[in-house]
Structure 1
Amino acid sequence: MATDNTLVETSNGPIQGFDDGRAKSWKGVRYAAPPIGDLRWRAPEPPEKWTTVADATRYGWVCPQPVDPRIPIDLGAPQGEDCLTLNVWASSDTAAGDRKPVMVWVHGGAYILGSASQPLYDGRALTSAGEAIVVTVNYRIGALGFLDLSEFDTPRRRFDSNLGLRDVLAALRWVQDNIAAFGGDPGRVTLFGESAGAGIITTLLTSPAAEGLFSAAIAQSSPATSVYDVSRAHGITRLVLDRLGMTASDVDRLPDLGVDVIVAAATEVFYDVPVRNPGTLAFAPIVDGDIVPDYPVKLAREGRSHPVPLIIGTNKHEAALFKWMKSPLMPITPEAINAMFTEIAAEQPTLELPTEDKIGTAYAGLRGKARGMGVARDVGFRMPSVWLAEGHSAVAPVYLYRFDFSTPMLRLLRIAAAHATELPFVWGNLVTGPKDPTFKLGGLKTGALVSERIRTRWLNFATHAEPTGMRGEPEWLPYSEPDRACLLIDKQDTVASDIDTHIRATWGTQVLNFR
């Protein structure tokens, strides 16, 4: 039952959390006003202050999103537009004056799925050792968070860009203002996330608006080059309007439209775009000249990223999950790969794309979809992470990793170390329900040891800005030439030199960025 040690006075008003004897939690904490009505497609506004104690024992609403049977996500809470809330965890013995390091999580989901309340992201395992405060953030996704309507600004109606990014920035400002009251240190905030969440992080690494809001970052499987220009964003906007049966003259009516109608139209566009234009997403950050001044990887390679320590990496078999789900989000067939190359060549005619011989050398012995999975993995995740690591290492320490561990069941399903399979190990939530197949054929004991090692490194990084391991574990050196050290996370951790030498030779130093 709730006790006084979970009563916290925030800058917006008092909240009451819950202490289960292992960890304290505060759920559904409002960090911005409800983004509804006139605030739909507007930058987040401060919430109205309150004086009576607000209940913070239940998760807040989840941003409205499609329900995809191929991706059975337990969102942990009902859907609703009033979704700009966050959750805080601390060990039960944490006091307000402790100044513990803070880890702020940005969930993934291709910029259209997911929530901060997913059971997978329950913060008790990460915080129960008492080493850090954990915060998970809800932000607007899909058309509500990444549809760019700014070209339709009028004196009567204004629309802002990159709303999902602006939400995360607002949450980070809330952390700066409030986390000390929970026992956290606002000067030691590590921003960490996976997939689209990691894409937000690598984008904010070069955003002027994010300066000073976090002191370290962890990007797990970031689609760092999936950031588009305004013209592409406007094309997506018109596709959504077409699905809604609207024209530019009807845009004023959008804030009054039912959210279910918007989600349905956006979902159709979300699945149609990567079929028409393989390798691209419908909804993603855009270069708006404001929150995102230019392509993040380009800026990082020019030495223009925030000088904060960074852990960045990918999984060994990223594309296997998309093949297993029969998802169009990653191009793996020869036809889709060729279409992607054709589009890149048309958009960037001066770019030197790899020849068929180079592709054959880098992916020797692989044919058809197997080769396509390798190409998709490296174009979508591995090379963007390597390119960003190369650039960012000039301004701050970078630690590169690759997650190789897989359980017998995941190998049987031919998923192995696929996209997102590292998440249970990072969070220490290895079995999230009776339908979780991960350990059905064993491997739980080994998996628990893998999880303990990862959490130790992530927590030490948040605490000391260095990802030191447990006693006896290899030293993980910063990424730099000529060694290009990379931590390989498997049954045992190892540190290897330049594991990407062949794909680097294939893809070169020119960044593949869809415009």
Structure 2
Amino acid sequence: MNHALKSRRDFIARLGMISAISAFPTLSFSQINLPDEFINTDTVYGKIRGKRIDGVNTFKGVPYGGKISGDRRFKRPAPLQPWDGVKDTLTLGAPAIQNPRRGEPEPSEDCLFLNVWTPANDSANRAVMFYSHGGGYVGGSGGSGGQDGANLARNFDVVVVETNHRLGLMGFLYLDEIAGAEYEGSGNMGVADIALGLKWVNENIANFGGDPNNVMIFGESGGGGKTSALYAMPEAAPYFNKASIESGPGVRMLTTSQASKTTALVLEELNIDPKDWKKLLEVPASKLLEVQSKIPFVPPFQNKEKGNQSDSPILGFGPVVDDVILPTHPFDPIAAKISKDKPLLVGWNEDEYTFFAWERKDTAPFSMDFDQITERLSGQFGEDAKKLVESYRHARPEATAPDIFVAISSINMMGLGSIEIAEKKAQEGAAPVYLYNFGYKSNMKIPGTDYEMGTPHAMDISFKFNNEVPPKDGETPRMGFGGSKVDRFEASRNFAELWTNFAKTGTPSANAPSWPAYNLQTRPTMRIDATCEVIENRFSEELATWRAIGKV
């Protein structure tokens, strides 16, 4: 196994994405206080009852698909059956099979529920923002506190929708080659569930004040990878018209060769002969979760395959290029033609790596000198580590050794793939693509060090959902990754305004400089902060080195 791949597998295997990305401390929301009241509305399946809270109508645990357990395991959901009377949708639905989640129902195989936040159930035809949660492809839910959609709905007059969907082994076990036509597409059930959620939006969102013909899909980390897959999926294509891929650049997905090897490993762990694969339907979900935990997590990015794909390593569970549900890699060798007319946002956080240092309790890089960081990076980049460090030191003469280590590690994790997506979308010459860096600097320190988190992976979630807001009167401020500086509220406002205006119009705009579409001449990048700025040819010197060593 090559060092780069081992490092990436280690980085994902140690993420803590399952809980850390999607279970931030509960955040403070708007200072509006209005009396709660129940709200009834129609869906094509029957009436539901939600609640109006602080001026936002909230519907939680709305079913959008039928049974996916028992004889439906690894298959398309059973049709959702209509109901009589009024169904309460006041609490979150069950998340997908995973370890229990704080403040949420017990995880369940039958997890096809979604949540809706809307300013009003009227005929206003608001833009719809459809979010896919992070957590890799194995954890998370549409009910995480940091991504609560109420502030976006209230402050920016949009409708927000988030789904629960199958994850991990339940959502991405590739059985096509051993189970036959009945299980065709089995390796993509997790993203097919999301497409079914989009279909539900198309059929029902007008009753929630939303415009079914103006839908933006977006997602962070694993949610960015899912969004990348949706961008290339024929069954999702009719139901959205713009997208945002955030710190999850899914340039390539798993091959059938890789997915088949993971399936073989699962069967081996369970002592099931491939010809007896149907025994998988009898294995308790808890046992499948135990087996899943032994297999590395799949990052939202995949290395380009070289040589004989049958020799490719086992990479775990994630979307599969299967010629059924996902016919092509989203951005390899070119941007998916099926979405050529759909505008795209793509980008990453400047200090992605500090999240993983925080999660792993890895304090070592923050006391290293330049020789030491070069040695550590050589485990991943070999002899190219020295070239990278020298290039970054030349481009950033004031940077410390830890600064350089964080910068190299961060762009390698989420930046290079984001740039590749922007370049390939720009080369397509159709709908525009906009490249961003999130750069607001948190003053929260990595425990055990004096090094500040800066802009870590996943910090963008609470900012883009406008959930970094002043506390309510009498409420004790809570500090998450965003830190304690008051200018974080302005950065959150900027981020949310850019995203909601993109959802409404296909052009990101805010109280900020005009954001030009990405092109291969000036390469404009929006740096999002309390004060935003457009930077042309950002990181040009560093990227020249990445290109020289074949990483871009």
Distance 1:506 1:51 in 2: 63
Contact residue 273 and residue 280 of structure 1 kept, 8 A: no
Structure 2 equivalent of residue 465 of structure 1:
506
Deviation readout 1:244-298 (Å, 9 max, x if unpaired): 3333244211122111111111012136999xx9998522211111222222121
Deviation readout 1:72-103 (Å, 9 max, x if unpaired): x6463331111111011111xx2431111110
1:62-461 correspondence to structure 2 within 5 Å: 62-66=95-99, 74=102, 76-91=104-119, 94-129=120-155, 131-154=157-180, 160-225=186-251, 227-270=253-296, 281-301=315-335, 305-326=339-360, 355=384, 358-364=387-393, 373-393=406-426, 394-410=429-445, 412=450, 414-430=452-468, 437-438=479-480, 442-443=484-485, 445-461=486-502
Letter in 1 for 2:433: V
Distance 1:102 1:167 in 2: 18
Task: Give TM-score, length-normalised by structure 2.
Answer: 0.80
What is the CA distance between 1:37 and its match in structure 2? 0.6
Q: 1:495 aligns with which of 513, 529, 534?
A: 534
What is the CA distance between 1:389 and its match in structure 2? 0.9
Structure 1 range deviating more: 135-144 or 219-228 = 219-228
What is the CA distance between 1:121 and its match in structure 2? 1.9
In structure 2, stretches of 5+ residues that fail to align are 1-34, 304-311, 363-371
Letter in 2 for 1:359: L
SS of equivalent to 1:364: helix
SS of equivalent to 2:77: coil
Distance 1:159 1:242 in 2: 22
What is the CA distance between 1:45 and its match in structure 2? 3.5
- The 3 A distance-change label for structure 1 pair 113 and 48 is same
Distance 2:492 2:526 in 1: 15
Question: Percent of aligned pairs with the same residue?
Answer: 29
Deviation readout 1:431-456 (Å, 9 max, x if unpaired): 8998964379631x211111111111
What is the CA distance between 1:505 and its match in structure 2? 1.9
Deviation readout 1:162-183 (Å, 9 max, x if unpaired): 1111011000011011100111
Q: How many residue pairs were aligned?
A: 487
What is the CA distance between 1:508 and its match in structure 2? 3.1
Contact residue 147 and residue 233 of structure 1 kept, 8 A: yes
- The 3 A distance-change label for structure 1 pair 370 and 24 is same
- The 3 A distance-change label for structure 1 pair 489 and 155 is closer
Contact residue 74 and residue 183 of structure 2 kept, 8 A: no
SS of equivalent to 1:409: strand
In structure 1, stretches of 5+ residues that fail to align are 68-72, 343-353
SS of equivalent to 1:209: coil
Task: Give TM-score, length-normalised by structure 1.
Answer: 0.85
Structure 2 equivalent of residue 350 of structure 1:
none
- The 3 A distance-change label for structure 1 pair 155 and 476 is closer
What is the CA distance between 1:243 and its match in structure 2? 2.8
Q: 2:525 aligns with which of 483, 486, 490?
A: 486
Distance 2:53 2:180 in 1: 51
What is the CA distance between 1:240 and its match in structure 2? 2.4
What is the CA distance between 1:241 and its match in structure 2? 2.5
Structure 2 equivalent of residue 19 of structure 1:
52
- The 3 A distance-change label for structure 1 pair 127 and 279 is farther
Deviation readout 1:306-334 (Å, 9 max, x if unpaired): 32111111000112211222299xxx997
- The 3 A distance-change label for structure 1 pair 418 and 157 is closer
Contact residue 409 and residue 440 of structure 1 kept, 8 A: yes
